[in-house]
Amino acid sequence: MAPIPEAPGISETATDNNFSNDEARDKSRVTIVGSGNWGSVAAKLIASNTLKLTAFHDEVRMWVYEETLPSGEKLTDVINKTNENVKYLPGIKLGKNVVADPDIENAVKEANMLVFVTPHQFMEGICKRLVGKIKADVEAISLIKGMEVKPEGPCMISSLISQQLGVNCCVLMGANIANEIAVEKFSEATIGYRENRVTAEKWVQLFYTPYFSVTAVQDVEGVELCGTLKNVVALGAGFVDGLEMGNNTKAAIMRLGLIEMKAFCKLLFSSVKDSTFFESCGVADLITTCLGGRNRKVAEAFAKNGGNRSFDELEAEMLQGQKLQGVSTAREVYEVLSHRGWLQLFPLLATVHEISIGRLPPSAIVNYNEPKAVRGSNKL
Ligand SMILES: NC(=O)C1=CN([C@@H]2O[C@H](COP(=O)(O)OP(=O)(O)OC[C@H]3O[C@@H](n4cnc5c(N)ncnc54)[C@H](O)[C@@H]3O)[C@@H](O)[C@H]2O)C=CC1
Ligand SMILES: O=C(CO)COP(=O)(O)O
């Protein structure tokens, strides 16, 4: 699939004030559900484009899971006063057209386009709260890296959104460490869409900037599973760093991880395309997360402490409210592997989970005496 031409209409510069009532009614309203580190950067990207593009209302609403700051002020009030998310993205102006809203129902009720970007463990509850509260023809996109495991099998977050809310849901994943994009360092991203290319093009328009290059591919499952699984491999990379095993070992983990990611994707969804692994959502996200992500960082500390301090404890201490996705994803992937009798086929993904729950020591990430991981992964 050829990339969609870069951000059609990106140079248009009209604002809401230039339009008649009819034209204003045709414009899409965007709401972001989530306001963490990546959620806030997504707000900045989108808000810079809604000001420029005639297809969108200027205002971008951002639902904030309300909390009280040490100063005693509400986070939402501070964001609206300073135009900064002082807790999750300090020092970065979001754009004056971003409005923080602690009331989720109010935040979504006028939206035509919903951008979901919360840690994946909160999405089931959020979807339940949104049933019957959104417009009938809403388009959604998920930036969330993770999945749920139900008795009937794994459920990707985009499917959860589609099923619970009855909406079409694209995904956007990629080598996107939020703090780097926040300071406008160049990154690429991949949008996965199911059938509607026109909608995918609208999402490309909404996100694209000269420093954020977005390509759309027709492979929702492949894009979303790559973004989800690389967080598990990144824990493995972090264990290697914590044990000071060096770059060659880390490269081996990334290579074996990519093989298992691809095999897992294809076993779950035969439609997943080989080419997706070469998009930003595939190999590039794997590399950046294994080099500079939060999952890597906390896993490094876990291994340095010999597995004696839990991930929950380290997450709370090191991330100040930001959330890891890899540990719960490793558990969810492990559940799928055990349930389907695939544990032997995915030694790296399985071992990461067993280390993270303390069943194996961090050094098991490369078990030289019993090189099962290497043999098993190469068979896939
Ligand atoms: N930060 C990054 O560099 C990137 C993150 N992502 C993905 O984006 C998703 C969201 O991550 P971030 O925006 O970084 O979030 P984060 O980890 O920075 O922040 C945690 C967020 O969860 C909220 N929260 C806490 N308790 C909650 C509850 N009970 N219900 C609802 N929300 C609650 C907090 O208010 C905060 O907004 C994740 O799936 C992550 O993997 C994807 C690409 C890059
Ligand atoms: O998904 C990410 C980069 O694309 C961020 O990964 P971490 O959550 O490990 O920081």
* Confidence at residue 4, expressed as pLDDT on a 0 to 100 scale: 43
* Confidence at residue 152, expressed as pLDDT on a 0 to 100 scale: 79
pTM exceeds 0.90 for this model: yes
Mark whether 371 and 234 lie in a shared domain: yes
Which helix (H) or strand (E) element contains residue 371? none
Q: Which residue has a Cα nearest atom 8 of ligand 2?
A: 294
Determine the Cα–Cα distance for residues 361 and 119; give it in Å rounded to an integer.
27
Mark whether 119 and 48 lie in a shared domain: yes
The ligand 2 atom at the shortest distance from the C-alpha of residue 230 is: 1
* Residue pLDDT, tens place only, 47-66: 999 999 999 999 999 999 99
* Residue pLDDT, tens place only, 200-218: 999 999 999 999 999 999 9
How many residues are listed for the chain in this entry?
380
Task: Please check whether residue 141 is in contact with residue 116, taking contact to mean a CB–CB distance below 8 angstroms.
Answer: yes
Torsion of CA 127, 132, 138, 142, to 10 degrees: 0
Considering every ligand atom, which ligand is closest to the CA of 88?
1
In the chain the first and final C-alpha atoms are separated, in Å, by 26
* Confidence at residue 25, expressed as pLDDT on a 0 to 100 scale: 74
Ligand 1 centre distance from Cα of residue 12 (Å): 32
The ligand 2 atom at the shortest distance from the C-alpha of residue 295 is: 9
Q: Which residue has a Cα nearest atom 4 of ligand 2?
A: 176
Q: Which amino acid is at 375?
A: R
User: What's the half-sphere exposure (Cβ side, CA atoms, 13 Å) at 208?
Assistant: 22
- Mean pLDDT in order along the chain per 10 residues (380 residues): 39 43 82 98 98 97 98 98 98 98 98 98 97 97 94 91 97 98 98 96 98 98 98 98 97 97 97 98 98 98 95 97 98 96 96 97 79 48
* Confidence at residue 8, expressed as pLDDT on a 0 to 100 scale: 37
User: Domain for residue 336, yes or no?
Assistant: yes
Strands 84-85 and 89-93: antiparallel
Q: Coil, strand, or helix at residue 100? A: strand
User: Domain for residue 6, yes or no?
Assistant: no
Mark whether 116 and 21 lie in a shared domain: yes
Mark whether 24 and 153 lie in a shared domain: yes
Determine the Cα–Cα distance for residues 260 and 39; give it in Å rounded to an integer.
29
Ligand 2 centre distance from Cα of residue 174 (Å): 9
Determine the Cα–Cα distance for residues 146 and 119; give it in Å rounded to an integer.
8
Mark whether 191 and 258 lie in a shared domain: no
* Confidence at residue 153, expressed as pLDDT on a 0 to 100 scale: 84
* Confidence at residue 296, expressed as pLDDT on a 0 to 100 scale: 98
Determine the Cα–Cα distance for residues 67 and 320; give it in Å rounded to an integer.
13
| Known catalytic residue at 128 | no
Active-site pick, 230, 250, 297, 304:
230
Prediction ipTM score: 0.99
Mark whether 145 and 288 lie in a shared domain: no
The ligand 1 atom at the shortest distance from the C-alpha of residue 144 is: 39
Ligand 1 centre distance from Cα of residue 126 (Å): 13
Mark whether 302 and 321 lie in a shared domain: yes
